[in-house]
Amino acid sequence: MRIKESAENYLETILMLKTKNGSVRSIDIANELGFTKASVSVAMKSFREEGYVTVDDAGSISLTEKGLNIAEKMYERHKVITKFLIELGVSEETAESDSCKIEHDISNESFEKIKEFLDKNK
């Protein structure tokens, strides 16, 4: 099943915040993405129902295995595509921004070829 780009962004953000801060709450996601806390709460309710996250009594959000798989895939794509664009001479800021857009739409075949190219040209 293909999930929406916005959901992929949420899950990737949860992974990045968890790695950086050790724990994640709705307010952290809202601040990171520039969304309202209410919007994030609605999204988290949906993600809980779909089995992508769990939320404990203190409001700490964790990715389930299902959510983690998607988040890790998106994060890997983000890092690899950013690196590839930088290698091509794109500024770091533009590479980061463009990677956020490309990572959701690139085919698996193209992504794997980019990874192979980077591995060969280390």
Where in the chain do CATH 1.10.60 domains reside? 74-120
Contacts of 7 (CB under 8 A, 6+ apart): 43, 47, 52, 70
Task: Take residue 26 and report the two structure tokens written for it.
Answer: 């709705």
Query: What proportion of the chain, given as a percentage, has pLDDT over 90?
Result: 89
For the chain, give every residue range classified as CATH 1.10.10.10: 5-69
Q: What is the DSSP letter of 50?
A: H
How far is Cα 107 from Cα 53, in angstroms, rounded to an integer?
26
Q: What is the pLDDT confidence band of residue 5, given thresholds at 50, 70 and 90?
A: confident
CATH of 74-120, one of 1.10.60, 3.40.1350, 3.30.300, 1.10.3470: 1.10.60
Rounded to an integer, the average pLDDT of 30-51 is 94
Domain 5-69 has CATH 3.90.1570.10: no
Mean pLDDT of the chain: 93
CA proximity to 51, closest of 35, 64, 34 = 64
Q: What is the pLDDT of residues 70-121, one digit of tens each?
A: 999 999 999 999 999 999 999 999 999 999 899 989 999 999 999 999 999 8
pLDDT of 1 over the 60 cut: no
How much is the average pLDDT of 48-61?
A: 95
- Tell me the whole-structure pTM to 2 decimals: 0.87
